[in-house]
Structure formats: structure tokens, C-alpha cells
Amino acid sequence: MTLTLAEIKNKIRPTADFPKKGILFQDIFPIFEDPKATESLVEHIINHLKETGTKVDVVVGLDSRGFLLGPWLANKLSAAFVPVRKAGKLPPPCHKVGYTKEYGTDYFEISQTAIKPGQNVLVFDDLIATGGSAKAAGELIQLCGGKTVKYVFFVELTFLKGKDALDAPTFSLFQYDD
């Protein structure tokens, strides 16, 4: 039995002032404590992609929470999976970009050879806040010659307007507006 979006959203656990004062942290890990909820999450995403006829050659998952379902989605779409990793984790040659997220700054890297020029890429992550992380992933995909066709998240913090920074349409299952 597939869980409804409302049933899955109920499992997300908010914590005030984590990891920094002023941040309301939305913890998605309790969803994964329930295998049915996890499976339903995948089903809801795949149904949307099928309904919208999204053609995907490569799913790019963002280190680290984008690795939770990225390979699973790639498998369901018969697509490749490619990781974007935090700096220093992937062997060279890599492309590298710096970015700012809701509670810090970081660097992301991608293997220069993992995406072939012209491939259609879907970026997957658990959550979009300011959009800094997803935008950096889009820049890395451009450096590889790939074309980002969609950004997919479970959670969107709409009040931070992260999707305005992105170069392709976004899809999110759960929105929080404060």
C-alpha cells in the first residue's frame, strides 16, 4: 500500500536552532525508518516524472543526502547515477565550484568524464533551501557539457526562493513556507 504525501510528510521532524541558531532543521531521516514510506516516496517521484514525460540519461545525486535515493531513482529510470561530492572525495580529474548554502559554505566536485556532452541530467537532493547547493551542481553539469532538465527534491523551503536560482524546472513533494 502506497502512503499518501500527507502521511509521509508527517514523518519529517523539525528541530529549531540546528545546526545553527535561527535555522529550523527539517530532518528527513525518520521517513527512512519506515520502508513503506521510503518506497512510497520513490513511487511519488517516479509517477511525476512519468506523467511529465521527463527523459533522463543521468541522475546526479548531491553528497550526502542526495545519495539516499539517487541510485534508486536512476535504476527506476534506467539512467546512470553520478555523484556530486564535497571537495577532496573524488579522484581527479574533477570540475570544482564553491557555493553558499543556508548554514555555511562549501565546495562541490564532479568527475570530468562521468557525464557525456549533450546528456539529459536530473539533479536529485533531499531538500532545497537557498538553492546554493543545487545551483552549484547545475554549474558542474554545464562544465561537463550536460543539460540539466529537472531538479527534484522531497522538501522545498519555499520562503527562501531557492528555485529562482536554478536553470531548469524544479519538482518537490513537500513545501514549507516558513
Ligand X SMILES: O=P(O)(O)OC[C@H]1O[C@H](OP(=O)(O)OP(=O)(O)O)[C@H](O)[C@@H]1O
Ligand Y SMILES: Nc1ncnc2[nH]cnc12
Q: If binding is defined by CB under 6 A, does position 152 make contact with ligand Y?
A: no
Q: Using alpha carbons, list the distances in angstroms from residue 119 to 53, 92, 149.
A: 16, 21, 10
Q: If binding is defined by CB under 6 A, does position 102 make contact with ligand Y?
A: yes
Tell me if 43 sits within 8 A of 58, measured CB to CB: no
Asked if 65 is an active-site residue, the reply is yes
Q: If binding is defined by CB under 6 A, does position 125 make contact with ligand Y?
A: no
Output the smallest distance, CB 3 to Mg ion, in A. 23
- What distance in Å separates the CA atoms of residue 54 and residue 35, rounded to the nearest whole number? 26
In the set 9, 12, 25, 100, which binds ligand Y (CB under 6 A)?
25
Asked if 7 is an active-site residue, the reply is no
Backbone angles phi, psi at 86, to 5 degrees: -65, 150
Among the listed residues 13, 39, 51, 102, the single catalytic one is 102
Taking CB under 6 A as the binding criterion, the range among 18-26, 38-46, 68-76, 139-147 that sits at the site for ligand Y is: 18-26
Query: Where are any strands of DSSP class E within 37-133?
Result: 58-62, 80-86, 94-101, 104-111, 120-128
**3 state SS of 38:** helix
Q: If binding is defined by CB under 6 A, does position 127 make contact with ligand X?
A: yes
Q: If binding is defined by CB under 6 A, does position 127 make contact with ligand Y?
A: yes
In the set 40, 111, 133, 172, which binds ligand X (CB under 6 A)?
133
Among the listed residues 65, 85, 109, 156, the single catalytic one is 65
Cα dihedral angle (137, 142, 148, 153), rounded to 10 degrees? 10
Nearer to ligand Y, 22 or 118 (CB): 22
Q: Which among 25, 39, 103, 27 has a CA at the least distance from the CA of 69?
A: 39
In the set 45, 56, 97, 102, which binds ligand X (CB under 6 A)?
102
Identify the bridge partners of residue 27 per DSSP, sorted by sequence position.
13
Site residues for ligand Y per CB under 6 A: 23-26, 101-102, 127, 129, 157
Positions touching ligand X (CB under 6 A) are 62-65, 101-102, 125-133, 162
